[in-house]
Structure 1
């Protein structure tokens, strides 16, 4: 079964998908690069609508989102396929699969919030692969979630068209955007995509008041050059501001980069210190044990506000109104589910 897709136009007998900058051109019967958008009977259809291939309950810290409803659980779901070709993909069994290669769960958009509630989750995440390839489902499911008082989250590479982004992102309550590196060479060679559209997505999202956290998987020999990382930190500070959380996470050998070593912890710790030197206030390390790099501290009085043990919150001292109990400074983020709007979406104003 298929579902009509949006974001396409016709060029003669072919169809051009406009959901992402890849602009796949398909003859009748062909799939796009993502495997789940197909030219069928003269129109574009989605093979992923209402058919997640992976569903699980995770700590929200695993997304990673560390300033959005900390300590809660999130219903995570993803489909087969992806619009990037990352050689280091750590979910490649999903992202490189076609829909019919993986058993799918039939889950209508209106049933998503009920499942989240049944599992005790405060929110739902479109993750594991990239929700860019099934925006129709994300939009409908996020609207159903909002109506039921369940937050919706997107975990994405941000490689999306202007039109799909303008429709899908405002329906979400939070985003974690993967800034995979900071050179066009890295993006072209290791992800089969381009850097500039991702930067545009990040800037667009933050400037429109969406809650955004960034993640960079630091890969030895590929995107860990100190000068490249400094350029990234400078860009974040200048273009989206010092209060957007940045997660620097450790790589482990996977998919087509089996011969690359794990990221040394000292690489992440040094990068975190440098990022803070550029004025970034909330920089975290992930996939390693680093007590300092897992604490959210108040930028006003340096009080440890949220302490974490891997993906578990050990202590949360942020007040329900999002302020520091020590100095009353407003901490960017959403720290209490009761502050979550369910009538048109919440907008977050960073300091």
Structure 2
């Protein structure tokens, strides 16, 4: 579920046609929260995601959907830049099943130049999500020459480990020329691999590569025995050595949401 608009202006935005416009400039469907949840039930959808543009700009709508979805046993998921004040975040967390937050870089200068936002509010959001017990994953788009410095990446990973948890999944995503950064090349796969290796060395246990379909970095590996527990190819997901939230080879628990919420 998405609308038009955003509270950032990322120069690399892949959805800029809707994120950098107004609702009146796009074709929209009028759906109230009840209709959204009913559509999810009719299509046997197990979750409702607010994504594509920044969902905090329609926070009230998202919160109302989440409240109704939770009552019907549907998981409410949000993919956000994390730029939200504490009070609406608390309201959202009351019915939020999981969050994917874009940690776009790890310096204020990068945020100001590339997103026209600031870093600290995003870090505050991540800490608050941890305190609220919301399953959270992070995505960092590596833009060549802008946020791919390995020391900066190591500092970010150290912060994630110490302030959040070594079990927080981190996805390094490949940049492709887009919007206002069409002059830059795609992220070299070697850079993504180096970032993943650095993150693992810093103690993060679940580090992935995105936008590189078929790469071994898409899979989930057991941090205890190293076996592939969940295999991925693009949007295809296949449990390999995984059952009931554990590695079937050594019994190691794998953090995540593996059960559908109960109907309340």
Query: Aligning the two structures, in what range does the TM-score lie when normalised by the shorter sequence?
Result: over 0.9
* 1:137 has 2:24 as partner: no
Partner residue in 2 for 1:181: 105
Higher mean C-alpha displacement, 328-337 vs 81-90? 328-337
Q: Write the deviation string for residues 30-56 of structure 1: whole angstroms up to 9, x where unpaired.
A: xxxxxxxxxxxxxxxxxxxxxxxxxxx
Does the 8 Å CA contact 1:220/1:260 hold for their aligned counterparts? Answer: yes
Cα displacement (A) at 1:119: 2.6
Cα displacement (A) at 1:314: 3.2
Partner residue in 2 for 1:325: 248
Cα displacement (A) at 1:98: 0.6
For the pair shown, the structure with the greater C-alpha radius of gyration is 1
Partner of residue 257 from structure 1, selected from 181, 200, 206: 181
Q: Equivalent residue of 2:209, what SS?
A: strand
Q: Equivalent residue of 1:134, what SS?
A: helix
Q: Write the deviation string for residues 278-335 of structure 1: whole angstroms up to 9, x where unpaired.
A: 0100000000135320111111222211001111113343212x12212222111112
Partner residue in 2 for 1:276: 200
Runs of 4+ in 1 over 3 A off after TM superposition: 314-317
Does the 8 Å CA contact 1:112/1:144 hold for their aligned counterparts? Answer: no
Q: Write the deviation string for residues 102-128 of structure 1: whole angstroms up to 9, x where unpaired.
A: 111111101112211223321010001
Measured in 2, the distance between the counterparts of 1:212 and 1:278 equals 19
Unaligned runs of 5+ in 1: 1-76, 344-351
Query: Closer, same or farther in 2 for the Cα pair 1:243/1:152, shift >3 Å?
Result: same
Give the alignment's TM-score, normalised by structure 2. 0.96
Measured in 2, the distance between the counterparts of 1:170 and 1:324 equals 30
Query: Closer, same or farther in 2 for the Cα pair 1:243/1:342, shift >3 Å?
Result: farther
Cα displacement (A) at 1:244: 0.2
Alignment of 1:1-351 (within 5 A): 77-320=1-244, 322-337=245-260, 340-343=261-264
Cα displacement (A) at 1:135: 0.8
Give the alignment's TM-score, normalised by structure 1. 0.73
Structural RMSD (CA): 1.2
Aligned residues: 264
Q: Write the deviation string for residues 120-148 of structure 1: whole angstroms up to 9, x where unpaired.
A: 32101000111111111011111111111
Measured in 2, the distance between the counterparts of 1:281 and 1:133 equals 32
Q: Equivalent residue of 2:77, what SS?
A: strand
Does the 8 Å CA contact 2:141/2:174 hold for their aligned counterparts? Answer: yes
Does the 8 Å CA contact 1:207/1:240 hold for their aligned counterparts? Answer: no
Does the 8 Å CA contact 1:174/1:210 hold for their aligned counterparts? Answer: yes
Cα displacement (A) at 1:170: 2.7
- Give the number of the structure with larger relative contact order, counting CA–CA contacts within 8 Å between residues 6 or more apart: 2
As a proportion of its length, which structure holds more helix? 2
Cα displacement (A) at 1:169: 2.5
Q: Write the deviation string for residues 128-176 of structure 1: whole angstroms up to 9, x where unpaired.
A: 1111111110111111111111111010000001111111123210000
Q: Write the deviation string for residues 233-266 of structure 1: whole angstroms up to 9, x where unpaired.
A: 1111111010000000000111111111100111
Does the 8 Å CA contact 2:150/2:198 hold for their aligned counterparts? Answer: no
Does the 8 Å CA contact 2:15/2:52 hold for their aligned counterparts? Answer: yes
